Structure 1
Amino acid sequence: MVLVLMIFASCSDDNNIDLSNRKFVRIDQSSISMSIGEKMKVTATVDTIKGDAYKLSWSILDPNIAKVDNSNNNEGIITAVAAGKTVVKVESTDGKLMYFADLTVAAGAPAIKILTIGSGSGNDATVSYLQNLVKAAGKSLVIGNLYLDGASLEDHSKNISQNQAMYKYNRIAIDGSENLLNDKQLKSVVKGENWDYISIEENMPLSGKPEGYQAYLSGILEHLKKYATNPDVKYILHQPWAYAKNATDAGFINYNRNQESMFRAIVDAVSAAASSVNMDIVVPSGTAIQNGRPAILAKIC
């Protein structure tokens, strides 16, 4: 199926071309792949020299394969209904501008897709066991771990605003195979797959300090919600764990090198932050690890 882009512009053999009528509409994805039951948000942009406003309408060539919600002018929410191939169309209501994107719907239920964004703790928490746990429940899972070693919420905020390509991205496919890429942008990774869950975390030294959450978490969430393609995505705040009792990390001084104090500070800071931004889920990894530290190793763990 061939992608068709129709641009309506006046042409002239005169070398002095009038650009005032140059305008077009486009979708942020020229080819869309989904599974039955999946929902995806696609966004259209109208570019004009004059900046004219256009009202847009969305449609699906074969409504037996997918449906689209027209409730938002520049966004269409596609729901995959049956396996097959069709075309998504967006056009201005005056019929002057239109754009087409190929849509393929695969048979079978979609895999669960989880993206973690952080300093590396999320990668540590998911890479070894989560895939097998989900498989045991009869589900399939795709994991994306986007991280920058030691990055704080402040670092993520700056990287987002400056669109920095500096992250490591470890994608774990349904079969468990890993693909580690470097120099990735947060925006491109968030938009690159239809994530069901997106997790964010503070780095360990600052995880029990409320200031970073208060200053940067809501802004980061605002960007994530703008980039995410799944209209039903759930946002997770990951709770890091306290350092081992014999840790020599510089950040441990923030808690007077007291593991229990650090753990309590993390619990309080994460709980307050999650409430302040109405986070959908808190994953209490820190609590699980603290509770699982055996008494026999209490002096060092």
Structure 2
Amino acid sequence: MKNLTTSKFMKLAQFCLCVFFLINFNSCTEEDDITPLGSEETLNVETEALVPNSITLTSGCEYRIVPEFNNVIFPAKNYTWTAQPAELVDFTVEPLTFAVTVQTIAEGNVTLTLASDDGEVSASVQVIIDDESDGILKILAIGNSFSEDALEAYFWGLANAEGKQVVVGNMYIGGANLDTHLSSASSDSNNYSYRKIDLDGTRTVTSNFSISEAVADENWDYISFQQASYESGLFDTFINPLPSLYNIVRGHNPNPCTKYILHKTWAYAQNSTHSGFANYNNDQMTMFNGIIDAYTLAENLIPTTMVIPAATAIQNGRTSFLGDGFTRDGYHLNDLGKYTASCTWYEMLFGESVIGNSYEPDGISDYYQGLAQQAAHEAALNPNEITILVDYENPGGNGIISEPVFINFSSSDNPDGWNAYTSHLDGGGIPNILYSNGDFTGVTATTTARFRGINNTSGAGSSTTDFNMDDSVSRSNFYSHALAWGSNPPLEESVIEFTGFESNDTYEFCFFGSRNGVSDNRDTKYTVIGATEQSANLDAANNATNTVCISNVQPDANGKITLRVSAGDANTNGNQFYYINAMKIAPQ
């Protein structure tokens, strides 16, 4: 608001009052006895401005100072900010409130002075600029399993490979939405699991932690918020809790230079069975578009420095030949999905392309790393638009398996040389089976009748077989049950189809199944159907040494071989659980 003299203000007020009388009483002249609205002595004009005496900031920090003026809501006078010495800061001024946003440049002390143009009102603040110079990026996420997926598995490795030092904190409550976080923050409840990755990559988990403890634990550069996945595309669910949560967290935070960001989480796979998918008519694109719209609006609810477009990175990846092959259960990410999300965080926080990053995560081939990096990079460039990954639409393969391939039925910790079969749901699978060297076979595996679930820890802790399995492979399994199990209806068989074979060559299919810590028989039947039908049985109970094989398996006329997994006749379990942990396909 520009300066308005008292005499002009009085004439304007008298004119307005005259108009009022003309409308209501049809009379108003200069001679009428009108009581003045005020005099120069009583008019509401500020006589004092208040700012902090001093603040301490780090170099490269952005900080907003809002002056307070007595007697008025908005200042009546015009003001100018100056800095001495000027070269240590940049600043911008808001014309109505004269709030100043300071960008610190270099270490030193600066006096910022606010002065009215008439010289009658002034105030100063000492800005002490420390060069923190520890070179460590510190990020605290307030989230749930989706922040776990995005930050805990691969982000540290991506940063470390490029010589960057990071500390990662994740305040975890499973399935927590913003309302849950607000409730916990309001009472400062110690109901969080605090997961922390230190400078050396060591991950620790501390139970019974509170928001105030986590915020005070480090001098955080970034603190992120996110909505729970099932409400991530519903903007109304952000409106009340997000600003309140931000205010509480900021009130606990001793670091005035912390930047606050939002983590834009991903849409569910189209085959997801999550109950929250109904919020989007069980449609992936409806959910994705809702997420884009909701976070675009939500970033204006708090002072948001950036939005991490993990949703867009995953959706970009889905334009490749992998399709929905980024989740392990239709909504949580598998290893490749986690790596893709971490690449997105890396590019956004460090402001540099992740393409070509030298980190080599176990179990993710170079080709898949490149795909994930490209998906993340395009998301950083176009955070609200899907980019088709044209270079990854068809990876190749001739449809003839010329050397053994190995499949690991697990949602995580896939070792090098193995194909990760990460989703147990209908439509899950492996879009193009890999050889151990990372080349593609051109053969696809797809689940056409689901398994009940995945158990990553119930199999043999170690094994001695001709598969030469890593312990992570023997421990994990897909399982189902031929009889009802609690409220779960029976699954008499679970089915995988292998398609894309381009010759009449014959193959050997071998299987390993294991369930530790049981005393009954868990006989599992593996039936392979191609040009002919053959079966083999294996008792999975406490198995660490045995595999079974079916030889002379030939594709049918359509290039397809079907695997049916079911309970065997010798199975004595009350629910007739059956298992598959690993398999091998080898040419004969």
Q: TM-score range by the shorter chain?
A: 0.5 to 0.7
Q: Does 1:236 align with 2:261?
A: yes
Work out which of the residue numbers 260, 263, 270 in structure 2 matches 1:245.
Answer: 270
> Does residue 1:130 correspond to 2:151, yes or no?
no
What number of residue pairs does the alignment pair up? 213
CA contact (8 A) 2:223 2:258 kept: yes
CA contact (8 A) 1:236 1:281 kept: yes
Q: 1:220 aligns with which of 242, 245, 248?
A: 245
* Residue matched to 2:217: 192
Is the CA contact (8 Å cut-off) linking 2:185 and 2:249 kept in structure 1?
Answer: no
Residue matched to 2:306: 281
TM-score (norm 2): 0.34
What code does the residue aligned with 2:256 have?
P
CA–CA separation in structure 2 for the residues paired with 1:231 and 1:69:
17
Out of 312, 318, 322, which is 1:293 matched to?
Answer: 318
**What aligned pairs does 1:69-80 form with structure 2 within 5 A after superposition?**
none
CA distance in 1, matches of 2:162, 2:222: 18
Instruction: Supply the distance in 2 between the matched residues of 1:149 and 1:170 (Cα, whole angstroms).
Output: 13
Shift of 1:112: 1.0
TM-superposed CA distance for 1:67, in Å, is: 8.6
Pairing 1:170–2:195 present = yes
Q: In 2 relative to 1, CA 268–38 (structure 1 residues): closer, same or farther, beyond 3 Å?
A: closer
1:102 match: none
Whichever of the two has the greater Rg, that structure is 2
Change (3 A) 1:77 1:154: farther
Work out whether 1:152 is the aligned partner of 2:177: yes
Aligned equivalent of 1:98: none
The answer as to whether partners of 1:236 and 1:280 remain within 8 angstroms in 2 is yes
Q: Identify unmatched segments of 5+ residues in structure 2.
A: 1-57, 62-106, 113-125, 325-426, 429-588
> Once the two structures are aligned, what percentage of the paired residues are identical?
35
* Amino acid in structure 1 at the alignment position of 2:226: E
Structure-2 residue corresponding to 1:31: none
CA–CA separation in structure 1 for the residues paired with 2:308 and 2:186:
26
Partner SS state of residue 213, structure 2: helix
The answer to whether the Cα contact below 8 Å between 1:207 and 1:240 also exists between their aligned partners in 2 is: yes
TM-score normalised by structure 1 residue count:
0.64
Q: One-letter code of the match for 1:196? A: D
CA distance in 2, matches of 1:267, 1:181: 33
CA contact (8 A) 1:113 1:143 kept: yes
If each structure's strand is expressed as a fraction of its own residues, which one has the higher value?
1
Shift of 1:132: 2.1
What's the offset of the Cα at 1:164?
1.0
For 2:60 and 2:206, the matched residues in 1 are separated by 27
Q: Which has the higher helix share?
A: 1
Query: Structure 1 230/38 Cα, relative in aligned 2: closer, same or farther at 3 Å?
Result: farther
> Which residue among 296, 316, 321 is the counterpart of 1:271?
296
Aligned residue for 2:142? 117
Give 1:138 deviation, angstroms.
2.4
Looking at structure 2, the residues matched to 128 and 140 of structure 1 have their Cα atoms a distance apart, in angstroms, of: 16
CA deviations over 1:51-71 (Å, ceiling 9, x no partner): xxxxxxxxxxxxxxx999999
* Aligned counterparts of 1:37 and 1:136: Cα–Cα separation in 2: 26
